[in-house]
């Protein structure tokens, strides 16, 4: 199984630019099982203000053009896609991670179970958390998905660990300064990953310049709680991994 982690630039509130970025990365990495992007990459993590009238402009669901476009792209390039987005479904928002096969099929659309993606004052009836663990089977493997703070939420981690996944995708949006990543957080994330799976792949978004407290990208291949391969922070990049079948 071939997987590419794409620490890529996500432009706040510009779905067309972010789709073009996904297209460019996939065209550079054809014939992959999955090319993985970070949390809320499609609209960008800071696009929502949690004012329902404002946020409606960023609404995306399965029947909308961006998802159809991504499915067509996956088929054309023959590369599966994992991408975070804010889903607006039946009048409710969730922070989701969409898995599309290299045949263009939706394999999983996981709604984040931890609340850290939204502000405290967000209407809990409109901005919701998911209730089911994210796991799917692919080529005989159990693959799990945790979104960002899910990986630090005991009940979510316990539910995932109980499924004994062979591999976990851990897309995030986190904004630690570079020194903190190097001195503390990289090791902390690796150790935490070891608590729920033997192999975890983590990928973070990269923010455009000028964002206060920006996400700095980066990606890790974590095996048994140890980082085996990584991308440097503060620049775009892709890390391609071969996962034994």
- pLDDT at residue number 62: 98
Note the pLDDT of residue 213. 93
Tokens of 25: 């990365």
Indicate whether this model's pTM tops 0.95. yes
Q: Note the pLDDT of residue 245.
A: 81
Name the E strands within the chain. Answer: 2-7, 9-10, 34-36, 81-89, 92-100, 106-111, 134-138, 141-145, 167-172, 199-204, 206-207, 219-223, 226-231, 237-242
Q: What is the pLDDT of residue 210?
A: 82
Give CA–CA dist 105/16, Å, rounded: 22
**pLDDT tens digits, the chain, 245 residues: what are they?**
999 999 999 999 899 999 999 999 999 999 999 999 999 999 999 999 999 999 999 999 999 999 999 999 999 999 999 999 999 999 999 999 999 999 999 999 999 999 999 999 999 999 999 999 999 999 999 999 999 999 999 999 999 999 999 999 999 999 999 999 999 999 999 999 999 999 999 999 999 888 889 999 999 999 999 999 999 999 999 999 999 98
Range of the domain at 16: 2-242
Q: What is the pLDDT of residue 24?
A: 99
pLDDT at 209: 84
Q: Name the nearest CA neighbour of 159 among 139, 137, 144, 138.
A: 144
CATH number of the domain that 77 lies in? Answer: 3.60.110.10
The predicted pLDDT at position 190 comes to 99
Q: What is the rounded radius of gyration, in angstroms, for the C-alpha atoms of the chain? A: 16
Number of domains in the chain: 1
User: What stretch of H or E contains 74?
Assistant: helix 65-77
pLDDT on residue 238? 99
């Amino acid at each position: 199984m071939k997987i590419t982690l794409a620490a890529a630039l996500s432009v706040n509130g510009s779905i067309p630019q972010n789709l073009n970025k996904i297209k460019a990365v996939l065209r550079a990495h054809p014939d992959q099982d999955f090319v993985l992007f970070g949390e809320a990459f499609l609209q960008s993590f800071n696009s929502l203000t949690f004012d329902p009238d404002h946020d409606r402009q960023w609404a995306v669901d399965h029947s909308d053009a961006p998802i159809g476009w991504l499915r067509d792209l996956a088929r054309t390039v023959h590369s599966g896609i994992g991408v975070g987005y804010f889903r607006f479904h039946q009048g409710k928002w969730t922070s989701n991670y969409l898995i599309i096969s290299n045949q263009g099929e939706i394999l999983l659309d996981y709604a984040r179970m931890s609340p850290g993606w939204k502000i405290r004052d967000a209407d809990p009836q409109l901005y919701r958390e998911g209730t089911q663990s994210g796991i799917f089977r692919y080529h005989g493997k159990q693959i799990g998905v945790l979104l960002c703070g899910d990986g630090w939420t005991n009940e979510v981690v316990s539910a995932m660990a109980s499924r004994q996944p062979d591999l976990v995708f851990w897309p995030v949006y986190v904004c630690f300064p570079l020194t903190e990543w190097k001195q503390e957080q990289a090791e902390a994330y690796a150790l935490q990953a070891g608590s729920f799976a033997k192999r975890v792949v983590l990928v973070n978004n990269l923010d455009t310049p000028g964002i206060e407290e920006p996400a700095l990208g980066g990606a890790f291949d974590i095996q048994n709680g140890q980082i085996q391969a990584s991308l440097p922070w503060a620049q775009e990049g892709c890390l391609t991994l071969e996962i034994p079948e």
